[in-house]
Amino acid sequence: MKALVLTAKKHLEIKDYDQPTVKPNEVLVHTAWAGICGTDKALYNGLPGSANAVPPIVLGHENSGVVAAVGSAVQDFKVGDRVSVDPNIYCHKCFYCRTSRPELCEHLDAVGVTRDGGFEEFFTAPEEVVYHIPDNVSLKAAAVIEPISCAAHAVDLLELHPYQTALVIGDGFEGQLIAQILKARGVKEVTLAGTSDEKLANNQKHFGFKTINNLKTPKAIKADTYDIVVEAVGLPQTQEQAVEAASRGGQVLMFGVGNPDSTFKVNTYKVYQKQLKIQGTFINPYTFEDSIALLQSGDVDPLPLISNILDFAHVEDFVSGKLKGVSKAIVKVAGEEA
């Protein structure tokens, strides 16, 4: 079978691999689609994602496919089932796992990061992280359940009320998904601030969001205005802007991943005076079922956001940053189209 292997930092090679065999607790997935994101860029460049990727490794933590074999101890899956795999495998033993915060697990194992993932025709995963896909959800949409699940976890950390207004800074795939989930969770009004007129217009058209082009009209983000502010870029200037934009009693969610050495300035008097909550968010603890439900109901629709379909040979264009203007790229691997 074909596998796209990260053989060394900044080196991707298409190789012929033997099809993996399953352990008793594992499912073999015939990969249909694999999403690709900024985490893959980091791993390609030798930086950590949720964990370190040590070459040779097959990336692909966002994926969908069809079950091709099951191990002897697998109970809830059979050959032919349509599935998506949550990449994050928790140890269930450490302090964080045992205090119901598995996302903070000290021994996180991750499909497509620490073990081979979806950029190969067949990959394996333990049954505990495999999820069934409902009939009305396509495998193409199912490939992005993982990024939806990170957005869903982030929104879970907010205290939401119908009277609230929300601002999402960042018109990347995640910012666009967070905006959809906030709307689905019933906040009064959602504004999306980004840098791409095309993406912003697309969001206005499909989802009715108010939009701000943050480079052309940065002053359009008013200070002390939004009950909920989500920063989904990861730069100090947008992080500062996020804290500024929060109203009294506001909640600021720092979703964007900053450079490990970067810091941002915050007016501590304003944190006191506005009684702000500033919250970080990390990955997707058990938010796959909610994400599947959001897809099934149509409350989240990722398909209008998918801009690029790649094959293995063009993945490097994306991770090396050569491909510009991407809203979301997914890789057609093999298996069914549906």
Ligand X SMILES: NC(=O)c1ccc[n+]([C@@H]2O[C@H](COP(=O)([O-])OP(=O)(O)OC[C@H]3O[C@@H](n4cnc5c(N)ncnc54)[C@H](O)[C@@H]3O)[C@@H](O)[C@H]2O)c1
Point out which residues bind ligand X (CB under 6 A): 37-38, 150, 169-175, 193-196, 214, 232-234, 238, 255-257, 281-283
**5 binds Zn ion per the rule CB under 5 A:** no
Binding part of the chain for Zn ion, among 7-15, 35-43, 234-242, 286-294 by CB under 5 A, reads 35-43
CB of 147 to Zn ion, least distance (A): 5
Given candidates 6, 29, 105, 151, which one binds Zn ion under the rule CB under 5 A? 105
Residue of closest CB approach to ligand X: 172
Return all residues near 155 (Cβ < 8 A) that are at least 6 apart.
Answer: 178, 181, 182, 185
Query: Which residues, 6+ apart, have CB-to-CB distance to 125 below 8 Å?
Result: 26, 27, 29, 85, 89, 111
Q: What are phi and psi of 275, to 5 degrees?
A: 50, 55
Query: 195-226 burial by CB neighbour count: b if 16+ within 10 A, else e?
Result: eeeebbebbeeebebebbbbeeeeeebeeeeb
CB of 164 closer than 8 Å to CB of 190: no
Q: How far apart are CA 335 and CA 338, in angstroms?
A: 9
Report the residue from 14, 51, 94, 334 that binds Zn ion according to the rule CB under 5 A: 94
170 binds, among ligand X, Zn ion, none (CB under 5 to 8 A by kind): ligand X
Nearer to ligand X by Cβ, of 74 and 253: the residue is: 253
Residue 166 in contact with Zn ion, rule: CB under 5 A: no
Cα(120)–Cα(143) distance, integer angstroms? 14
* Residue 74 or 85 with smaller CB distance to ligand X: 85
Q: Could you say which of ligand X, Zn ion, none residue 257 binds, taking C-beta under 5 to 8 angstroms by partner kind?
A: ligand X
Q: What is the DSSP letter of 207?
A: H
Residues that bind Zn ion (CB under 5 A): 37, 39, 62, 91, 94, 97, 105
